[in-house]
Amino acid sequence: MKKILIVDDEPNIVMSLEYTFKKNNFEVFIARDGQEALDTLQNHHPDIIILDVMMPMVDGYSTLEQIKKNPELENCKVVFLSAKNKEQDIQKGLALGANLYITKPFSLKKLVEQVQELIN
Amino acid sequence: MSSLGLLLILAIYVVMLFYIAHWSEKRSHSKWTNNPYVYSFSLAVYCTAWTYYGSIGLAAQTGLDYLPIYLGPIIIIPTWIIILKRIIRISRVNKITSIADFISLRYGNSRSLGALVTLISIFGIVPYIALQLKAISDTFHVVTKTQASSNIFTDNTTYICIALALFASYYGNKYVDASEKRRGIVTAIAIESILKLVFFLIIGIYVTYFVFDGFDDIYKQASVLEDFDKKNTIGNLTNGLNWFFLCLISMFAIFILPRQFHTAIVENNQEKHIRTAIWLLPLYLLLFNIFVFPIAWGGNILFENQGLNSDTYSLLIPQYFNNNFLTVLVFLGGFSAAISMIIVSSITLATMLSNNLLIPYGFIGSLKNTSPEKNIKRIVLSRKIGIFSLIILGYIIYRVFILDYTLVSIGLVSFVIIAQLAPAFFGGLFWRRGSKKGAVTGIILGFSVCFYTLLIPYALGTTNSGSTFVQEGPWGIALLKPFQLFGLDYLEPIPQAVFWSLLVNFLSYMAVSVSFSGNYRERNYAEMFVDIDKYITNHENAYVWKGTANISDIQKILERFLGIERTQRAMTIFKLKYNIDKDNKIADARFIKFAENLLTGHIGTASAKIVIASVTKEDKISLPEVLRILEESKENIVINKKLTENSNELKKISEQLQIANKELINKDIQKDEFLDTVTHELRTPITAIRAATEILHDDENIPAEVRQKFLQNIISESDRLNRLIDKILDLEKFETGKQKIYLSKNNLSQTINNTLESLQQLIANKNIYVDFKNQSREIKAFYDEERIIQVLHNLFSNAIKFCESIAGKITIQLIENPDFVSVSIHNNGKEINPEDLEAVFDKFYQSRNQNIKKPIGSGLGLAICKKIIEHHKGKIWAESSKSNGTTITFTLPNYNTSEK
């Protein structure tokens, strides 16, 4: 069973994501901001992270930078999921080492497909 | 005192002056030599030995008559701030070096007029120099108690005079360019001016307070002397007229005397120095006159009926009391006064002699063909010889003619002669029509009248001929008696001569000028002189010249006089100034004027014109054409001025535009940020709705309670979306001013209670304790209740949200002041970062600093609150500390008290 970490501060969005990935046989972990995400990563080593950008406290970009510093998380894939949809935001996210940048609003079905493609 | 001793003291004194001159020449740019005080004191060269000794003599003999010579300048000096400034500007741009240059240039750069002015000046001033030498000689003999030797070769004063002539010619003419400043001489003159005043004040104090017992004592003793009352009242109208004419010529003298023209104009370094001179010089003259009267009448009391020369009282009194030190001091002061005048006058006369007489009429031809070094040597040498011979000539005149006259009478004759230049001088400064023919006629006729009414009688007086010319008139015609011309018998001889000569001079100058207008060149200079302020920056533009000339020809001529290096430097500057192409070969009017100016300092205006004319071919221009060209150049200058003004204005406007543009760019960035944040905020609920809907859509077998949850999501997110849109529109209304506030009288406590009630459920949920101080007090205020409820609702919601989760507490405080009522809402939650205390009221405030951090709430609530409070003319701010939670306070104006 693949492990997925969902990082977002919008509870209603998290709820939908959690439901969908669970249904697709993922073990789902949830964090509400960057700091929580980093803590969770230490303990659970997920295969993939769905990361929002705009969050209180530690934002998505900084979170990714922290992840990249940790060699133990080398194989962890990262997908940004953000309402910031400007070209420069996307470029920045990919430059930091994200595998995918998906803009909100998004299609759950497509997201699941892309995530599965990434980890297989 | 022995002659040898006094000669030694004199030698030491002169060496000291020589050293001062030498020292300051080397420091010609230091503030010790180049300052308004040196300038002002150098102008006191006006006070000569005549002032120093002659005033006392005159006061002793005739009472108050010594005063007009000082009152005239004191009256006219305040006008310097305008007139002298103009003369200085004209002289600076035209490189004028003497009064002869000034007058002749104004009347079309006329060689003959320059020569005439030079002759008049020499005629007027050389006797004046003689007078100074007489003063030195007389006083020398008084101090040494010797008699003047009839053999000039055994008379010590002859050698003093030769030494003086050598000193003056050596130091007076180091530069070939007469327009160069002579800082050394000027500083020495200024020092001498200070010394002569100080020495004079010392002897004055000595006589008044040591010999006598103060002013009262002298007055008391003098008042019993014969004629005291008569001599010391101004008297009737006739005397008033005498005074008037004496004041008048001394007013002219302070402008036109060659030495005054030289110190005040040629040696002026900065126009602003005039500002010091206009108070310092009158003060100096007044100080000089304080003790004239006590010394004169002190002398009269001490030496009554002894037949001594009253001019020398200031020496005789200390000598009488055997005070050798004071006697020598006074002598040195008088010597200073005399040599200052001699040196400055001889320098400027020698310049005039060479630049306006010898070079243009004599060796100008030979100058054109020799090397620059030789030319410079010859010019300088000719001036040195000029200075030397003028002083020696003065000495000869003194020995031959004026042994018997008092200092004052010769001095005044000199003033009258120089005053003949006044109509041409002042006319040229203010009257465009004044012409060369008028000037020449005026000067010649005025001088002739002087000659008749003053010089002939004086000459007859010195020769002691038995002629009845003065008493009965020529051929016994009473109307032509020189001292009572045409029956004018109530003026003294000098005022009478002033009256007739200046009247004739002035009227003929006017009449001839009006009848015969000058040529185009005269008119050209007339414009430049009268309108100097317009042409000051690029006066070469105002010069009218037509013809053919090659720059290379003119350059060759310039090199003859200036040398190759200086010529090239000057030409580079000229081309830069007028932005002229380097390869331009044809000279225009500006270049002709520029070249003439360069030569003027060396050889004078007239010769400069002649030299330049020899290599150019000038076409005659008609007078109307000159006027047209001048009009054009004037228009050009006006247009230029306007263009500069316009461009300045444009600059200002473009600066303003730049600032406005910057503001716009900033606003644009803010707007972009705002839009960015708004779209992000709008997308978040839409994302949630879309995700929930997708799940519901794709999965038909969803359990009922899960379905319920997602549907609930959709509803709350839709509400959120709607609220957000409302707030954005609200804010937009406030920002564009469309939002109106409807003020009415309300009870603030009541409004707060109502708001709290609507939030009761939320407060209860978080178990928060609300402490509303003076809850029941009625505080009436004018506000829009609906809007203030919106504010309160927002603030309370925030307070509830940020309260401690356990033991949360909200405190509400109401304060009423004469000026305002304030509401503070405090919660005991976490601190707001101090840097953000103001920013929290910005819309989406976090977005500005870190656009990736998530704003709390909608990010618009406090921004709207602020707008509402500001529309009520109140204030809102936040305070926060770690230990004490956060307080938001807003105020509303207290209309209750202001209405009372």
Domain boundary among B467, B502, B536: B536
Q: Which residues of A touch B859 (CB under 8 A)?
A: none
Query: In the structure, what pLDDT confidence band is assigned to residue B538 with cuts at 50, 70 and 90?
Result: low
Pick from A25, A12, A57, A88: nearest CA to B719? A12
Query: In the structure, what pLDDT confidence band is assigned to residue B155 with cuts at 50, 70 and 90?
Result: confident
Nearest by CB: A10 against B679, B684, B699: B684
Q: Does A27 touch chain B (CB under 8 A)?
A: no
Contacts of B661 (CB under 8 A, 6+ apart): none
| pLDDT in the model for residue B199 | 93
Q: Are residues B523 and B431 in the same domain?
A: yes
Q: Are residues B171 and B37 in the same domain?
A: yes
Note whether A106 contacts B852, CB cutoff 8 Å.
Answer: no
Q: Are residues B75 and B201 in the same domain?
A: yes
Q: How far is B719 from chain A, CA to nearest CA, in Å?
A: 13
Pick from B286, B269, B279, B287: nearest CA to B81? B279
| Exposure of B552 in the CB half-sphere (CA atoms within 13 A) | 3
Q: Are residues B350 and B394 in the same domain?
A: yes
By residue range, what is the domain housing residue B659? 628-736
Nearest by CB: A56 against B691, B694, B853: B853
Whether residue B683 is contained in a domain is answered as yes
pLDDT tens by residue, B276-326: 999 999 999 999 988 998 898 888 888 877 778 888 888 888 888 888 889
Q: Which residues of A touch B716 (CB under 8 A)?
A: 12
pLDDT tens by residue, B167-181: 888 776 666 566 677
| pLDDT in the model for residue A106 | 92
Note whether A16 contacts B709, CB cutoff 8 Å.
Answer: no
Q: Does A24 touch chain B (CB under 8 A)?
A: no
Q: Return phi, psi of residue B584, to 5°.
A: -60, 130
Give the Cα separation of A27 and A4 in Å (integer). 6
Contacts of B116 (CB under 8 A, 6+ apart): B440, B443, B444
Contacts of B288 (CB under 8 A, 6+ apart): B47, B51, B70, B197, B200
Q: Are residues B402 and B548 in the same domain?
A: no
Find out whether B433 and B496 touch, Cβ atoms under 8 Å: no
Tell whether the model's pLDDT for residue B847 goes beyond 70. no
Tell whether the model's pLDDT for residue B494 goes beyond 80. yes
Give the Cα separation of B229 and B472 in Å (integer). 32
Q: When comparing pLDDT for B310 and B232, which is higher? A: B310
Pick from B790, B850, B99, B824: nearest CA to B443? B99
Predicted TM-score of the model (pTM): 0.63
- Block residue for tokens 């500390």: B881
Tell whether the model's pLDDT for residue B621 goes beyond 80. no
Find out whether A4 and A47 touch, Cβ atoms under 8 Å: yes
Whether residue B414 is contained in a domain is answered as no
Q: Are residues B111 and B72 in the same domain?
A: yes
Tell whether the model's pLDDT for residue B782 goes beyond 50. yes
| pLDDT in the model for residue B11 | 86
Query: In the structure, what pLDDT confidence band is assigned to residue B258 with cuts at 50, 70 and 90?
Result: very high
Segment B344-364 shows an average pLDDT of: 86
Residue B787 CA: distances (Å) to CA of B761, B784, B840, B842, B879: 22, 6, 19, 18, 23
Give the Cα separation of B747 and B744 in Å (integer). 10
Query: pLDDT over 70 for what percent of chain A?
Result: 100
Mean pLDDT over all residues of chain A? 89
Q: How far is B856 from chain A, CA to nearest CA, in Å?
A: 8
Q: When comparing pLDDT for B251 and B461, which is higher? A: B251
Whether residue B582 is contained in a domain is answered as yes
Q: When comparing pLDDT for B177 and B27, which is higher? A: B27
Tell whether the model's pLDDT for residue B67 goes beyond 90. no
Closest chain A residue to B681, measured at CA: A83
Residues A2-119, CATH architecture: 3-Layer(aba) Sandwich (3.40)
Q: Are residues B546 and B521 in the same domain?
A: no
Mean pLDDT over all residues of chain B? 83
Give the Cα separation of B720 and A1 in Å (integer). 37
Domain count within chain B: 5
Note whether B852 contacts A59, CB cutoff 8 Å.
Answer: yes
Q: Are residues B562 and B709 in the same domain?
A: no
> Where residue B342 sits, what CATH number does that domain have?
1.20.1730
Contacts of B735 (CB under 8 A, 6+ apart): B867
Q: Are residues B215 and B79 in the same domain?
A: yes
Residues in B whose CB is inside 8 Å of some CB of A read 676, 679-680, 683-684, 686-688, 690-692, 694-695, 698-699, 706, 709-710, 713, 716-717, 850, 852-854, 856
Q: When comparing pLDDT for B636 and B307, which is higher? A: B307
Find out whether B313 and B296 touch, Cβ atoms under 8 Å: yes
Give the Cα separation of B623 and B524 in Å (integer). 9
Tell whether the model's pLDDT for residue B900 goes beyond 50. no
Query: pLDDT over 70 for what percent of chain B?
Result: 91
Tell whether the model's pLDDT for residue B408 goes beyond 80. no
Q: Are residues B564 and B676 in the same domain?
A: no
Give the Cα separation of A91 and A97 in Å (integer). 10
Domain boundary among B736, B764, B793: B736
Segment B102-123 shows an average pLDDT of: 90
| pLDDT in the model for residue B551 | 82
Chain centroid offset of residue B842 CA: 54
Q: Are residues B530 and B541 in the same domain?
A: no
- Block residue for tokens 């300038």: B39
Q: Which residues of A touch B852 (CB under 8 A)?
A: 53-54, 59-61, 84
Tell whether the model's pLDDT for residue B404 goes beyond 90. no
Tell whether the model's pLDDT for residue B402 goes beyond 70. no
Q: Which residues of B touch A10 (CB under 8 A)?
A: 684, 687-688
Query: In the structure, what pLDDT confidence band is assigned to residue A113 with cuts at 50, 70 and 90?
Result: very high
Find out whether B108 and B518 touch, Cβ atoms under 8 Å: yes
| B39-43, B72-76, B363-367, range with the lowest pLDDT | B363-367
Tell whether the model's pLDDT for residue B858 goes beyond 70. no
Instruction: Write the ipTM.
Output: 0.94
Give the Cα separation of B682 and B700 in Å (integer). 29
Give the Cα separation of B799 and B760 in Å (integer). 13
Burial B857-884 (b: 16+ CB within 10 A, else e): ebbbbbbbbbbbbebbebebebebeeee
| B585-594, B629-638, B762-771, range with the lowest pLDDT | B629-638
Nearest by CB: B688 against A12, A57, A107: A12
| pLDDT in the model for residue B368 | 66
Q: When comparing pLDDT for B622 and B860, which is higher? A: B860
Whether residue B415 is contained in a domain is answered as no
Note whether A83 contacts B698, CB cutoff 8 Å.
Answer: no
Q: How far is A78 from chain B, CA to nearest CA, in Å?
A: 18
| pLDDT in the model for residue B49 | 86
Q: Are residues B362 and B455 in the same domain?
A: no
Nearest by CB: B692 against A16, A23, A61: A16
Q: Which residues of A touch B709 (CB under 8 A)?
A: 15
Cis omega before residue B624 (within 30°)?
no
- Block residue for tokens 């938001």: B888
Domain boundaries, chain A: 2-119
| pLDDT in the model for residue A84 | 86
Q: Which residues of A touch B710 (CB under 8 A)?
A: 15-16
| pLDDT in the model for residue A24 | 92
